[in-house]
Amino acid sequence: MKKRIVLLPGDGIGKEVMESAKEVLTAIAEEYNHTFSFETHEIGGAAIDLYGTPLPDPTVEACKQADAVLLGAVGGPKWDQNLSHLRPERGLLGIRKALDLYANLRPIKGFKNLLHASPLKEEVVAGSDLLIVRELTGGIYFGTPSERRENGQVVVDTLSYTRYEIERIVDKAFQAARSRRGRLASVDKANVLESSKVWREVVEEKKAQYPDVEVEHVLVDAAAMKLITNPSHFDVIVTENMFGDILSDEASVLTGSLGMLPSASLNESGVGLYEPVHGSAPDIAGKGIANPTAMILSAALMLRYSFELEEEAKLIENAVQSALDSGYHTADLQVPNGRLVGTKVMTRLIVDYIKTQNASKCIASCYY
Ligand SMILES: NC(=O)c1ccc[n+]([C@@H]2O[C@H](COP(=O)([O-])OP(=O)(O)OC[C@H]3O[C@@H](n4cnc5c(N)ncnc54)[C@H](O)[C@@H]3O)[C@@H](O)[C@H]2O)c1
């Protein structure tokens, strides 16, 4: 398979973890005889420094031509005082919009060796393995700004969805559930909101097309509770933009390790932007200690969702699992009796596993 991948390393540790993802993808290409070509472009603070804008036109053009885009992270104190249109984060919002990325997918999985770092009891979080599918381009975040205030005394935010916008995200979630454990929780506030009632209608209509998927409707307040009392109850959660924003951040702390969480944002043609959930971590940038796994797992999502290379994606995930199971970890993770390594060695361990598909060889061939 031939694929053109645009790399947007961005700022801070974004550049470091992007190198790791590239190494892992190169190993996958060698193992499976794929041709992945990489093209690197600037975004965020790095783009402001070079081009005076967080999202230069050549970056947008390259992303539009690409089969998939990998993004590191943007931002940092250097640009914190900039005017709003010159903030690095503008680059991120701009590229999501330019690519019309309407579906945000965040898998959250508890890794055995890291469960003690969860703010929840280990027995509660053990076995958690869920995917949040969030609608990204509609809802209350996109109401018309001019409608929001009337003489300063009344304030209005408008939550609007077209039926089509709901249908396409619900379809995406059903498909994801089908490829996982076949369970879908649709989260809404149908006891209050009209938009949620339509959301629920659409899910009910779509159900007939996916008879192999078991569906439940959960009110958002109950979902927020269940996520921390019984997270392993969930397989796939689908919800609208604002509920998804809040629930995905709540769920991201379940596993206690920000450096482990990947994400995918997809458009209708299957082109996706894949990025870690974490930011540019200016406090550790340049020290060689960043955890590369969220970025590497984002590359695995790219193989799964944009290229339909499930076996290759699984191999990367198994490689990450194997490194962790062998006790290796970066400084952001506390692993009792673990073996502390930096970004490069963690990457090397994962690459070695991909090449040998054997944890013990992978450990033996590593250098410290
Ligand atoms: N998607 C993005 O690009 C994105 C997301 C969030 C924040 N940001 C930006 O990043 C900058 C820093 O933000 P922040 O400090 O609030 O969030 P952050 O995610 O960058 O860092 C939070 C903490 O987690 C640690 N951390 C994060 N990722 C890590 C990794 N892979 N390995 C080891 N440790 C890791 C950091 O060292 C820091 O202590 C800001 O400019 C912010 O706007 C960007």
**Model confidence at 97, in pLDDT bands (50, 70, 90)?**
confident
Residue 146: its pLDDT value, please? 62
Q: Is 245 a catalytic residue?
A: yes
Q: Distance between CA 124 and CA 185 in Å, rounded?
A: 19
Residue nearest to atom 8 of ligand 1 (CA): 279
In ligand 1, the atom with minimum distance to the C-alpha of 276 is 1
Q: Report the share of the chain in percent with pLDDT over 70.
A: 95
Look up tokens 């600037």; give the residue.
Answer: 42
| Average pLDDT for 170-196 | 97
Tell me the CA distances in angstroms from 239 to 140, 168, 186, 187, 234, one per residue in order. 13, 12, 6, 5, 13
E strands present in the chain: 2-10, 35-40, 68-73, 103-109, 129-135, 149-150, 154-155, 183-188, 214-219, 236-239, 262-266, 272-276, 328-329, 339-340
Q: Distance between CA 345 and CA 350 in Å, rounded?
A: 9
In ligand 1, the atom with minimum distance to the C-alpha of 10 is 3
Q: Where in the chain do CATH 3.40.718.10 domains reside?
A: 1-102+269-368, 129-253
Residue 358: its pLDDT value, please? 65
Smallest Cα–Cα separation from 290: which of 240, 346, 249? Answer: 346
Q: Is the separation of the CB atoms in 303 and 309 below 8 Å?
A: yes
| Average pLDDT for 168-189 | 97
In ligand 1, the atom with minimum distance to the C-alpha of 294 is 31
Rounded to the nearest 5°, which phi and psi values hold at 145?
-55, -35
Taking the centre of ligand 1 as the mean of its atom positions, its distance from the CA of residue 358, in whole angstroms, is 32
231-273: pLDDT as tens digits: 999 999 999 999 999 999 899 888 877 889 999 999 999 899 9
Residue 361: its pLDDT value, please? 54
pLDDT at residue 310 is higher than 90: yes
Q: Distance between CA 29 and CA 36 in Å, rounded?
A: 7
pLDDT at residue 292 is higher than 70: yes
Taking the centre of ligand 1 as the mean of its atom positions, its distance from the CA of residue 278, in whole angstroms, is 5
Q: Distance between CA 188 and CA 238 in Å, rounded?
A: 9
**Model confidence at 300, in pLDDT bands (50, 70, 90)?**
very high
pLDDT at residue 41 is higher than 90: yes
Residue 148: its pLDDT value, please? 66
Q: Is 141 a catalytic residue?
A: yes
210 vs 359, more confident: 210
* Residue in 90, 92, 96, 278 to alter for ligand 1 test, most ligand atoms within 8 A of Cβ: 278
Question: How many angstroms separate the first and last alpha carbons of the chain?
Answer: 35
Of 80, 121, 164, 249, which one is the catalytic site residue?
A: 249
| Phi/psi-derived region of residue 265, left when phi > 0, alpha when psi is between -120 and 50, beta in every other case | beta
143-161: pLDDT as tens digits: 776 666 767 778 888 999 9
* Poorest-pLDDT segment among 51-60, 130-139, 141-150, 182-191: 141-150
Q: Is 67 a catalytic residue?
A: no
The structure's pTM equals 0.92
Taking the centre of ligand 1 as the mean of its atom positions, its distance from the CA of residue 78, in whole angstroms, is 14
pLDDT at residue 363 is higher than 60: no
Length of the chain, in residues? 368
In ligand 1, the atom with minimum distance to the C-alpha of 291 is 32
| Average pLDDT for 99-114 | 91
Q: Is the separation of the CB atoms in 220 and 189 below 8 Å?
A: yes
* Poorest-pLDDT segment among 55-59, 137-141, 165-169, 180-184: 137-141
In ligand 1, the atom with minimum distance to the C-alpha of 278 is 19
Residue 147: its pLDDT value, please? 63
Taking the centre of ligand 1 as the mean of its atom positions, its distance from the CA of residue 199, in whole angstroms, is 33
Residue nearest to atom 36 of ligand 1 (CA): 281
Of 121, 141, 325, 361, which one is the catalytic site residue?
A: 141
Taking the centre of ligand 1 as the mean of its atom positions, its distance from the CA of residue 55, in whole angstroms, is 20
Instruction: Name all residues whose Cβ lies below 6 A of ligand 1.
Output: 13, 73-76, 89, 92, 258-259, 275, 278-284, 290-291, 294, 330, 332
Q: Please list, in sequence order, all residues whose beta carbon lies within 8 angstroms of the beta carbon of residue 247, skipping any fewer than 6 positions away.
A: 132, 134, 187, 220, 223, 224, 227, 237, 239
Q: Report the share of the chain in percent with pLDDT over 90.
A: 80
pLDDT at residue 187 is higher than 70: yes
Residue 11: its pLDDT value, please? 98
pLDDT at residue 120 is higher than 70: yes
Residue 364: its pLDDT value, please? 43
Instruction: Report the run of H or E that residue 169 belongs to, with start and end.
Output: helix 163-178
9-29: pLDDT as tens digits: 999 999 999 999 999 999 999
Q: Does domain 1-102+269-368 have CATH number 3.40.50.620?
A: no
Tell me the CA distances in angstroms from 303 to 3, 79, 168, 311, 334, one per residue in order. 10, 33, 21, 9, 29
State the CB neighbour count (10 A cutoff) for residue 52: 9
pLDDT at residue 368 is higher than 60: no
**Model confidence at 275, in pLDDT bands (50, 70, 90)?**
very high
Q: Is 78 a catalytic residue?
A: no
Residue 44: its pLDDT value, please? 97
State the CB neighbour count (10 A cutoff) for residue 148: 12
Taking the centre of ligand 1 as the mean of its atom positions, its distance from the CA of residue 280, in whole angstroms, is 5
Q: What is the mean pLDDT of the chain?
A: 93
Instruction: Look up residue 33 and give its DSSP letter.
Output: T
CATH class of the domain at 129-253: alpha beta
Residue nearest to atom 4 of ligand 1 (CA): 279
